[in-house]
Amino acid sequence: MVYSRTESATKNRHANDLTESEWHDLLASARRRAVLSVVEESRETIELEALAARVAETLDDATVDDERDLVISLHHVHLPKLSDFGVITYDPVSGWVDPTPSK
């Protein structure tokens, strides 16, 4: 993955270091809010497919047309963004998502 200067600057950040504007950006997406809710509830490592199934349950039917599309969206957009900002830990190779411990 190629990161722009702005994206690479977010690497290795921690949730406690985020500005109010960055939190607004992260929480603007219903899918990211649902991911954070599921991860917070589970408090343990969760696999991408299982996470997507639980996220789909929390979103209304109009938001999630196809669970496979949700998996792709989480993998390519939402989980990397949350991980880049230090809110979760996401391993795109294994597909595992971990809650990030607080500082």
Q: What is the chain written as a DSSP string?
A: ----HHHHHTTT--GGG--HHHHHHHHTSHHHHHHHHHHHHH-S-EEHHHHHHHHHHHS-TTT-S-HHHHHHHIIIIIHHHHHHTTSEEEETTTTEEEEPPP-
| Segments making up each domain of the chain, as ranges | 17-99
86-101 tens-digit pLDDT: 899 999 999 999 987 6
Mean pLDDT of 19-29: 89
Q: State yes or no: pLDDT of 12 exceeds 50.
A: yes
Residue 72, pLDDT above cutoff 90: yes
Q: What is the pTM of this model?
A: 0.78
- pLDDT of 31-66, one tens digit each? 999 999 999 998 899 999 999 999 988 887 545 568
